[in-house]
Amino acid sequence: MYSLSNYIVLLQNALSSGYIFVPFSKNIINEQKSGICVLRHDVDNDLSAALKMAKAESKIGISATYFFMLRSPCYNLMSRQNHLYVNEIINLGHNVGLHYDQAFDSIRNISTEDTSCLIHDEASWIEKVFQISVSAVSFHQPSSVVFQEGINCGSRINTYDPDVFNEFVYVSDSNRVFPLLENDETTENNPLAKKLNGLKKLWPKNFQLLIHPMWWVYDNQTTEEVWNEVIKSNFYQMQIQLLKTERAFGKKREFKLSFS
């Protein structure tokens, strides 16, 4: 069920229903239009998966906002290969946001005021390095502070801001639990087509759709198997740079990782 091809069918069905895909913008609250989808990707761990999704979306004329992390446990946003991946995603016409690790601030008991300053610093860094505008901020593993007190993101949109998205339906595939697939009805003739029509049921409501690329790029795998693929993917990306820059590394070779 979770595959890149099925994800594209899901989007195509939304387009055929009349949905318009728009970027994060504070103008959304002023337009008050119906049939709007704000498509968001929190790129937690795998930039190569994000690029594959970005290419597939571009082919059907859809642009999304890709939120990149500075504290990802798996990828270095400044490595040569990952820098090129981000550039390619931008060149495909997609927008960029900051995926801020608010959970780390919560662990360190950092105030919301200090978090706001750190958000500004990280977003400004991405803007400077990639020569783009960071339009919005999403939060990685947000604590209750994000929802109860709120965090000031300055001129950038907080993807959880109720003043902007109160009238939007929020749909997420976090941990590969996706209600538009899991809870939809099926038919004997074509259960898959019925499931992938889930977005049509929302018409003409506006919605924010959060999709994590890694859940869809690695076909028909359990969540644990997807994580194995993500880890191997990042090792492969690391080796690309090592082969090009570190002569002492030697020839390209396959690393056999043991998962237990």
**Lowest mean per-residue pLDDT among 145-154, 184-193, 228-237:** 184-193
Long-range contacts of 51-57 (CB under 8 A, 24+ apart): 51/85, 51/88, 51/89, 52/4, 52/213, 52/217, 53/4, 53/7, 53/211, 53/213, 53/216, 53/217, 54/88, 54/89, 54/92, 54/94, 55/92, 56/4, 56/7, 56/8, 57/8, 57/11, 57/92, 57/94
Q: Which pLDDT tens digit goes with each residue over 28-42?
A: 766 657 899 999 999
What is the per-residue pLDDT for 45?
Answer: 95
DSSP state of 199: G
**What pLDDT digit, counting tens, does each position of 82-128 carry?**
999 999 999 999 999 999 999 999 899 999 999 999 999 999 999 99
Q: What is the pLDDT of residues 148-162, one digit of tens each?
A: 888 999 999 999 988
Q: Where are the domains of the chain?
A: 4-219
What per-residue confidence (pLDDT) applies to 201? 75
Homologous superfamily of 4-219 = Glycoside hydrolase/deacetylase (3.20.20.370)
